[in-house]
Amino acid sequence: MDQHQIDTLRALPVPAFAHLIDGKHVAASDGATMDVISPIDGQVLTTTAKGTARDMEAAIASARAAFEDGRWAGQPPAARKKVLMKWADLIEANALELAVLGVQDNGTEISMALKAEPGSAAATIRYYAEALDKIYGEIAPTASDILGLIHKEPVGVVGAIIPWNFPLMIGAWKLGPALAMGNSVVLKPSETASLSLMRMAELALEAGLPPGVLNAVTGEGRVVGETLGLSMDVDVLAFTGSGATGRRLMEYAARSNMKRVYLELGGKSPNIIFADAPNLDEAATVAASGIFRNAGQVCVAGSRLLVEAAIHDDFVAAVAKAAEAMRVGDPLQMNTQIGAVNSDIQLQANLGFVETAKAEGGQIITGGERILQDTGGFYMAPTIVTGVTPDATLTQKEVFGPVLGVTSFATEEEAVHLANGTVYGLAGGVWTSNLSRAHRMVRGVRTGVMHVNTYGGADGTVPLGGVGQSGNGADKSLHAIEKYINLKTAWIKL
Ligand code: NAD
């Protein structure tokens, strides 16, 4: 990719987006639209349909009809595989267009978006396409006069609700396994990052996915998301987003048909640095990128740095140096390392956390303020706060922005205790040359993923899911398929 191609794409006008229902582009039932504000410059980029409850009900009805008549679930596995493989090819063929469109409304730096968005989405769709004809039912070890068969059936209609930080990647984590197993899906992208995901959904139709199997509705979470959550015709909710919304989805399920609810929520992930780390310079650089890339808007971001007291000051200085060297700015420049915060609301929330941290006795080592205000965009300097106590707001609450809190520890036991001292359990990291200690830390810290002598990064072969209030179930890997199937027993007397 060169900068010229990106500049050419960004100069094109961005079309208005409608819903995708029953294979057709459909405006909101009352004609309403929402402005899409680009975080790059704060300007209106385009509009999307502002969905109504009626729109969402139409999408659910379309998905239900598609599921019941077997137009997708009833196709031979090889046929479904072919469509999904074609879809992955189309995503790849349109990768730059998708990445630029996504960056224009969500603000992720393009270098990261190119890797984490279309590239990863295509790989995910392909992974589940390849898997779908290798998933067998089972024969139970019953008595000889019985045949016990265990069928793996699609669940029915899946509601997929997606956040704004990596819409294509996270969208594909739900769509890949759900569609591969024969379900129909109703997709609800984020209000502030829907464009690339809506375009990716269109490509599924181009690839030959039958109309109604994948419907996508834009609009406000409290309107269309709530309708999806409360529907009696949706069997599974697959959600990534905040804990507050996750709680609501559980309530919706309880108030309606007790649908299954899978939650991939936030984190407050500890990155733990021991003095015996194999390479402290590398640890410092990775600690900085592990919190500051995508302006901290990464669910597994290492937002709590726990540093052994003996190296605290030198190590913090090295992380600050690495942070200050990162280029913040226009996310559509290939050399930008930290793009825009997704919205003004999120930027103000981030700045609020900095003020609270100061009031609670934290010291700002670097950053702490909005920058590049003359662009009209939403940019924040990477921020490091030291002296963060175990009960401080910066320890206990997810910021989801470029703010790193630092706490020092004296012993391995204390490090584990601090690491486990929040309601979250999504990710963590440990840096040490001591193999036994590394394994003890992996066992001792309660998270869905632990990184050892690295931070962040993982491919589709391993699950990602949180414990505690970071969620349940897992995206990625063959394990994710379990969310989108029912087990049915056939008990046959011979
Ligand atoms: P959010 O909860 O505000 O929104 C997520 C989605 O839920 C959006 O599509 C939104 O429209 C919808 N929504 C909002 N209110 C709703 C309601 N009442 N009913 C139904 N749907 C509703 O989250 P966000 O701010 O977009 O995303 C940031 C959060 O996502 C952070 O907490 C982050 O840690 C988390 N996240 C987690 C993972 C993971 O894999 N665990 C990955 C990425 C992001």
Give tens-digit pLDDT for 233-252: 999 999 999 999 999 999 99
Residue 457 is predicted with a pLDDT of 81
Ligand 1 atom closest to the Cα of residue 189 is: 9
Q: Catalytic: which of 109, 117, 191, 264? A: 264
How far apart CA 268 and CA 355 sit, in angstroms, is 19
In CATH, the number for domain 3-265+471-491 is 3.40.605.10
Q: pLDDT tens, 420-432?
A: 999 999 999 999 9
Q: Is the CB of 163 under 6 A from ligand 1?
A: yes
Contacts of 143 (CB under 8 A, 6+ apart): none
How far apart CA 272 and CA 415 sit, in angstroms, is 7
The reply to whether domains 3-265+471-491 and 270-459 share a CATH topology is: no
- In terms of Cβ atoms closer than 10 Å to its own Cβ (0-12, 13-18, 19+), residue 489 is exposed
Phi (first) and psi of residue 441, to 5 degrees: -70, -40
Nearest C-alpha neighbor of 457 from the set 115, 59, 179, 49 = 115
Ligand 1 atom closest to the Cα of residue 246 is: 2
117 is catalytic: no
Q: Is the CB of 245 under 6 A from ligand 1?
A: yes
Q: Are strands 236-240 and 157-161 parallel, antiparallel or unpaired?
A: parallel
- Give the strand order in the sheet containing 214-216: 24-26, 19-21, 214-216, 184-188, 157-161, 236-240, 260-264
Closest residue by CA, ligand 1 atom 12: 221
How far apart CA 315 and CA 293 sit, in angstroms, is 19
Q: Is the CB of 402 under 6 A from ligand 1?
A: no
How far apart CA 124 and CA 477 sit, in angstroms, is 9
**Ranges of the chain with pLDDT below 70:** 1
Domain ranges of the chain: 3-265+471-491, 270-459
Query: Rounded to the nearest whole angstrom, what is the distance from the C-alpha of residue 274 to the centroid of ligand 1?
Result: 33
Q: Which of 162, 259, 299, 346 to mutate to test the pocket of ligand 1 (most atoms within 8 A of CB)?
A: 299
Residue 410 is predicted with a pLDDT of 98
Phi (first) and psi of residue 419, to 5 degrees: -60, -40
Query: Rounded to the nearest whole angstrom, what is the distance from the C-alpha of residue 240 to the centroid of ligand 1?
Result: 5
Ligand 1 atom closest to the Cα of residue 264 is: 41
Residue 270 is predicted with a pLDDT of 98
Q: What is the identity of the amino acid at 304?
A: R
One-letter-per-residue 3-state SS of the chain: CCHHHHHHHHHCCCCCECEEECCEEECCCCCCEEEEECCCCCCEEEEEECCCHHHHHHHHHHHHHHHHCCCCCCCCHHHHHHHHHHHHHHHHHCHHHHHHHHHHHHCCCHHHHHHHHHHHHHHHHHHHHHHHHHCCCEECCCCCCEEEEEEEEECCEEEEECCCCCHHHHHHHHHHHHHHCCCEEEEECECCECHHHHHHHHHHHHCCCCCCCEEECCCCHHHHHHHHHHCCCCCEEEEECCHHHHHHHHHHHHHCCCCEEEEECCCCCEEEECCCCCCHHHHHHHHHHHHHHHHHCCCCCCCEEEEEHHHHHHHHHHHHHHHHHCCECCCCCCCCCECCCCCHHHHHHHHHHHHHHHHCCCEEEECCCEECHHHCCCEECCEEEECCCCCCHHHHCCCCCCEEEEEEECCHHHHHHHHCCCCCCCEEEEECCCHHHHHHHHHHCCCCEEEECCCCCCCCCCCECCCHHHECCCECCHHHHHHHEEEEEEEEEC
Phi (first) and psi of residue 350, to 5 degrees: -60, -45
Q: Is the CB of 476 under 6 A from ligand 1?
A: no
Fold adopted by 270-459: Aldehyde Dehydrogenase; Chain A, domain 2 (3.40.309)
How far apart CA 327 and CA 438 sit, in angstroms, is 33
Closest residue by CA, ligand 1 atom 14: 221
- Work out whether the CA dihedral 335, 192, 262, 208 comes out positive or negative: negative
User: Can you give the pTM of this predicted structure?
Assistant: 0.97
Residue 1 is predicted with a pLDDT of 67
Q: Which of 117, 165, 250 to mutate to test the pocket of ligand 1 (most atoms within 8 A of CB)?
A: 165
The answer to whether 344 and 309 are in contact (CB under 8 A) is: no
Q: What is the identity of the amino acid at 196?
A: S
b or e along 37-66 (b: 16 or more beta carbons within 10 Å of the residue's beta carbon)?
A: bbbbeeeebbbbbbbbeebbbbbbbbbbeb
Structural tokens at position 440: 């003890």
Q: How far is CA 325 from CA 368, 400, 403, in A?
A: 16, 21, 16
CA angle, 266 as apex, 264 and 272 as ends, to 5°? 120
Ligand 1 atom closest to the Cα of residue 219 is: 11
Q: Catalytic: which of 109, 117, 299, 308? A: 299
Q: Is the CB of 242 under 6 A from ligand 1?
A: yes
Query: Rounded to the nearest whole angstrom, what is the distance from the C-alpha of residue 253 to the centroid of ligand 1?
Result: 17
Query: Rounded to the nearest whole angstrom, what is the distance from the C-alpha of residue 189 to the centroid of ligand 1?
Result: 10
Q: Is the CB of 162 under 6 A from ligand 1?
A: yes
412 is catalytic: no
